[in-house]
Structure 1
Amino acid sequence: MTRRLTVLLAEDEALIRLDAAQMIAGAGLRVIEARSGDDALRLAGEAPDILVTDVEMPGALDGVALAHALRRDLPTLGIIVTSGRQAVTADALPPGALFLPKPYRSEELLNALARIAGGGLGGA
């Protein structure tokens, strides 16, 4: 039996988090939800395969700092950074991370997840 990929979703806006969590779960992935970078850092002990994080969040860590911190601890972690207010350049992100501007459509998020996961998502 194949283990389901786990996505750590860090998003402070409740409605966006709910919508994204439904999209991710609908693709057959396990979702761990975090409301801030601090929450996500704490929940990273559940060994996620992919991080999907907003840039702007409450707490000590924004999404970019969170991505770098988790990549240090989880070197194979796939990363998708999102924002509706600012574009993040590739050189600001950990190697291999993707930037997805908000608002994103379901297929855009699923395509980004499939790229990070190497194309192996049932819903993408």
Structure 2
Amino acid sequence: MAFSRSNIWRVLIVDDDDTLRLLLGEMLQILGLEVTAAGDGAEALAQLAAGESFDLLITDIRMPGHIDGPVLANSARALYPAMRVVVMTGYGGERVAALPDDMPILKKPFRLKDLQELISDLGLASTP
């Protein structure tokens, strides 16, 4: 199960900040994507492990608990190698440096235009 089979690309967003998660979800819906959200890495990993199919995972790099963004990203890629993964951060440092070179980083704060360019660069359109 690499990609969803519906007419709309499915995105799983993961962030412990309720406001940012809601705002990002609304932005992605404006861009024509179907959104599911999780408040932390454990919740997201449970959804993925249960077989939910997503085309894109967007996760914050820093989250509470033992499943932060890099751990979630690597686990998601292990489960679904074809799923695209983007990491959001307002920081730099070792966590960013530890990410694979082919993993896009969405720098906070971002605008709808930035998100639209990222989605376009990833090859995701409102109709797969």
Fold agreement, TM-score > 0.5: yes
Aligned to 2:17: 13
Match of 1:82 among 72, 77, 88: 88
Is residue 110 from structure 1 mapped to residue 82 from structure 2 by the alignment? Answer: no
Compared CA separation, residues 94 and 43, structure 1 to 2 (3 A): farther
Is residue 41 from structure 1 mapped to residue 19 from structure 2 by the alignment? Answer: no
Equivalent runs, 1:62-73 vs 2, <5 Å: 62-73=68-79
Runs of 4+ residues over 6 Å off in structure 1: none
Larger RCO of the pair (alpha carbons < 8 Å, separation 6+) = 2
Query: Hey, what's the Cα distance between the residues in 1 that align with 2:99 and 2:55?
Result: 17
Q: Structure 2: any 5+ residue segments left out of the alignment? A: none
Percent identity of paired positions between Structure 1 and Structure 2: 34
Q: Structure 1: any 5+ residue segments left out of the alignment? A: none
TM-score by length of 1: 0.86
Tell me the alpha carbon deviations over residues 32-76 of structure 1, each in whole angstroms, 9 at most, x when there is no partner.
100001111012221111000000112221101100000011010
Structure 2 counterpart of 1:25, one-letter code: Q
Tell me the alpha carbon deviations over residues 61-100 of structure 1, each in whole angstroms, 9 at most, x when there is no partner.
11011000000110101011011133513xx224632011
Query: Hey, what's the Cα distance between the residues in 2 that align with 1:95 and 1:76?
Result: 16
Is residue 25 from structure 1 mapped to residue 29 from structure 2 by the alignment? Answer: yes
TM-score by length of 2: 0.84
Aligned to 1:101: 107
Query: Hey, what's the Cα distance between the residues in 2 that align with 1:77 and 1:95?
Result: 16
RMSD over equivalenced CA pairs, Å: 1.8
